[in-house]
Structure 1
Amino acid sequence: MSFIETVGRLVSDDPAPLYMQLQKVLRDAILSRVLSPEAAIPPERDLAEEFGVSRLTVRKAVDGLVSEGLITRRRGAGTFVASRVEKSFSKLSSFSEDMISRGRVPHSEWLSKSAGAVTPEESLSLGLSPGTLVYRFQRLRYADGQTMAFESSTIPGYCLPAPGVVEDSLYAALDAAGNRPVRALQRLRAISFSADQAEILGIRPGDAGLFIERRGFLADGRAAEFTQSWYRGDAYDVVAELNRV
């Protein structure tokens, strides 16, 4: 079966520009897993011949999918469907926003939502006095049905009316309460998953992962979030954009 028979043809009466039509065909094939992760994308010349468009049109379509994180180019090897999710540290965004921006379907499985007095570690990280009320949230994170991370968040009580107001998105609930973080400090380190962590994520003990810790702050400087996340190393990359000052 040819590539065009696998992913589908362009619609002849579609008024959209050709590069957008081609992008949609390829994007739909990737998101529906017609093209699986790591699948090779034919060279620009071959795509142009199969779809009856110019190589410039193909290049523009592929460039857009590369920027979305759906396709990757490997020097000397070719172009492939991406198998990993990239996380940029240049923008303060939620997990769901990251996934949606890359054409992935996010999903969370709540493990617990609770309230209690701040612990010594939380007090130090959030700058809260002993005995301060905090809300705690633990969940599993998914993208396209695949486990991505285990996440534990502590939110000061003054940021939310109650833990029950958090439904699908913690940041959406904070936003609704007028207390979404406007800046954050993050640090990360490489880890090896323990047996218990591996069981939660459905991977093997000892597999590599990323531990990311975030402290978010409100515009007035008060702490709004202390989140610790354990990400699968085989499915998640961290990307940083660097600029010369």
Structure 2
Amino acid sequence: MTAQGADQPLPLSVDRTSPVPLYFQLAQQLEAAVEQGRLAPGTLLGNEIDLAARLGLSRPTVRQAIQSLVDKGLMVRRRGVGTQVVHRRVRRPPELSSLYDDLEAAGQRPATRVLRLTTEAATAEVAAALGIAEGGEVQVLERLRSAHDEPMALLRNHLPPGLLTPTSEELEATGLYRLMRASGITLHSARQSVGARAAAPGEARALDEEPGAPLLTMERTTYDDTGRVVEFGAHVYRAARYAFEFQLLVRA
């Protein structure tokens, strides 16, 4: 397969004597090329028919190999454009960091659009998380976080009264945790839960997914160095573009 703009085709081959399916052999080589940077983000792949002829494979076999990488979030099929390599899935370590920081650390360009910035009465769930009375006033921040013009996550944060009053311009220029640190808040620890569910229609539209597509969910209550709750977040992430990583230790 020759990537658009490349001078030499990728060195691809398949072993017909191997018990490993041919499509999987091809998919592994393409995935390695993406991970090693030989197929850079934004690269348009060449013609599937040409690749099939070059390797002596059927077109359905080539299509299955490429589709497996689309399913992993390494490539995307764009109508009128073709199959394109996308940026690697963001892998979030179990640390107290923000999505903005994680995207920058992964070499991606974070961008934010503020969807809602208002105050409202705290629900029972929010009040319990923030340690305030139900119905008390809280600040609500809802944002769409993207990287390289591709939506990644919908973020909803509740802040306790009197903590911080960021503007839309500030929230679109940097991450919430950076704004907190700049205002003198020392983030210390958090309680977090991770799950998954299907995308609701509105979420699907915002994240450029199909309704019912898998989304990762994360709820987090964050504390400063005095033990005060400084935010309660409830976020959803595109499963194809985002993953949580955990290191597990064996208990003696």
TM more than 0.5: yes
Q: Which residue is 1:58 aligned to?
A: none
Deviation at 1:202, TM superposition (A): 1.4
Q: Which amino acid aligns with 2:130?
A: L
Percent of residue pairs bearing the same amino acid type? 27
CA contact (8 A) 1:184 1:215 kept: yes
Q: Which residue is 2:40 aligned to?
A: 30
Deviation string 1:119-160 (CA, Å, 9 cap, x unpaired) is 322101111124543211001011121111111000112321
Deviation at 1:7, TM superposition (A): 8.8
Structure 2 residue 88 is the aligned partner of structure 1 residue 83? yes
Q: Structure 1 residues 194, 117: closer, same or farther in 2, change over 3 A? A: closer
Deviation at 1:83, TM superposition (A): 3.4
TM-score, normalised on structure 1?
0.65
Deviation at 1:244, TM superposition (A): 4.0
Deviation string 1:164-196 (CA, Å, 9 cap, x unpaired) is 284322112111221243111110111111112
Q: Which residue is 1:164 aligned to?
A: 167
Q: Which residue is 1:134 aligned to?
A: 138
Q: Structure 1 residues 83, 118: closer, same or farther in 2, change over 3 A? A: same
Q: Which residue is 1:184 aligned to?
A: 190
Structure 2 residue 228 is the aligned partner of structure 1 residue 222? yes
CA contact (8 A) 2:151 2:206 kept: no
Q: Which residue is 1:243 aligned to?
A: 249
Q: Which amino acid aligns with 1:135?
A: Q
Q: Which amino acid aligns with 1:183?
A: S
Q: Which residue is 1:231 aligned to?
A: 237
Query: Where in structure 1 are there 5+ consecutive unaligned residues?
Result: 9-25, 37-70, 72-79
Structure 2 residue 135 is the aligned partner of structure 1 residue 125? no
In 1: Cα distance, 2:206 partner to 2:44 partner: 28
Deviation string 1:187-245 (CA, Å, 9 cap, x unpaired) is 01111111121112111011111111111001111111100111111111110122346
Bigger mean CA deviation after superposition, 171-180 or 91-100 = 171-180
In 1: Cα distance, 2:7 partner to 2:147 partner: 22
In 2: Cα distance, 1:81 partner to 1:153 partner: 28
Q: Structure 1 residues 137, 82: closer, same or farther in 2, change over 3 A? A: closer
The aligned runs of 1:46-85 (5 Å cut-off) are: 83-85=88-90
Query: Where in structure 2 are there 5+ consecutive unaligned residues?
Result: 9-35, 46-73, 75-84
